[in-house]
Copies of this chain bind each other. A is one copy, B any other.
Amino acid sequence: MLKKEQNDYLCQTGPGTPMGNLFRCYWMPALLSEELPENDCPPVRVKLLGERLLAFRDSEGKLGLIDEFCAHRGVSLWFGRNEDCGLRCPYHGWKYDVNGQCVDVPSEPAESGYAKKIKLKSYPLIDQGGVLWTYMGDPEKQPPLPEFEFSTVPLNQTFTTKRIQECNWLQAMEGGIDSSHVSFLHRGDLSNDPLFKGAAGNKYNMQDLSPVFEVVESDGGLLIGARRNAEDNQYYWRITPWVMPCYTGVPPRGDHPIHGHFWVPIDDESCWAWSYDYHPTRALTETEVAAMKDGKGVHVKYVPGTYRPLANKDNDYLMNRAAQKAGKTFSGIEGIGMQDASLQESMGPICDRTKENLVGTDNGIIMARHRLMRAARALADKGTVPPGVNPEHHKVRQAALLLPRDVQYKDGAKEALVARKGVRQTSV
């Protein structure tokens, strides 16, 4: 349970807020690479942390993320012409490069130097792993590029999608570090979903509905271990890494690709749910990629032409009571991604955490909140660089394994929890 002030503190990420300042210390996914498919393609509107921005790719392939609005009279540059290494406002022809620098004001004599004085807010945009990443903080403090395994393996080993989620980022992210709900919400999918089914470990999810949680701090965030009973005096461990502020990894199943999420605030009442799938040591199969594109696993089907899920709150997520009654799905909603999103959105745009009743399985959530608040305060008070900024912190891996009951997972899974090039995931 949080006080209202604490909830506001964690949920608000607009310019000038403490959590907003924290988010602005990190590289974050901003767009899919496919959204800027070629040089001089149409610009794309992007809203992040409450800021309205425009992404574009210039004639030479350079990427830019700039203020959406022209410095002159404020029209949206989304209507702009992307030509000759710059985006030209269609109203009076002011032109900007990928850094937001104005390079032409046609009505002013070039020799006046007027254009040089005009510069839009801009953020770097880099292409890595099929994702365009941005950093929205102080340029002086820009950290090295991110090194999450999913975006640094070869492109044929990784597949990432995004979807709009119509609630605050925190309640979405809290779902991502809460592996205790799998045995309920997703139980039907453990035996049906092509990207989940068939793993030997699935049976422990189904058998033991009272996992015991052990959460430990990592350099970049947390490791959330969920322990379920297994045979032969063993425990079945599923370990979820959380890297601050909003990267989460779902523990793997068999040889299925590993998946997880980034939860990036659009504004205080919506966020981007990014979903990645990758395999550390092999290309994804055609069948796997087809399933992902079909909305299986952690991915979803879309309203055509958008990144909004086809099942959404306006259609009650296509609730199927018959499938629910028959136990085909636990909540009546189809697909793991929308099972999560439907419930998280049902909490309201911003979950009222003054009313919650947390239990042992929520320890990961409790500790994540505290770590976020602590980091935001240290940043505000002392300028401390928060955990998760250092790319070394990104090199974690989710794991699922059996360990003897007397072995602690931070010891027994130590190697399994590190991203190691050319080494397969540890997964039962």
Contact = CB atoms under 8 A, between A and B. Distances in A.
A140 interface: no
A85 interface: no
B71 A184 contact: no
A109 B211 CA distance: 11
Nearest to A347: B74
Interface stretch (A29-37, A122-130, A351-359, A407-415): A351-359
A339 B79 CA distance: 10
A404 to B, nearest CB: 23
Contacts of A378: none
B79 A332 contact: yes
A90 B360 contact: no
A180 B107 CA distance: 8
A151 interface: no
A348 B74 contact: yes
Contacts of A379: none
Interface in A69-110: 69, 71-76, 78-81, 90-93, 105-109
Nearest to A213: B107
Given A74-B351, A331-B79, A357-B118, A184 B346 contact: no
Contacts of A364: none
Interface of A: 42, 69, 71-76, 78-81, 90-93, 105-109, 114, 118, 171, 174, 180-181, 183-185, 209-211, 319, 321, 324, 330-333, 339, 342-344, 346-348, 351-353, 355-362
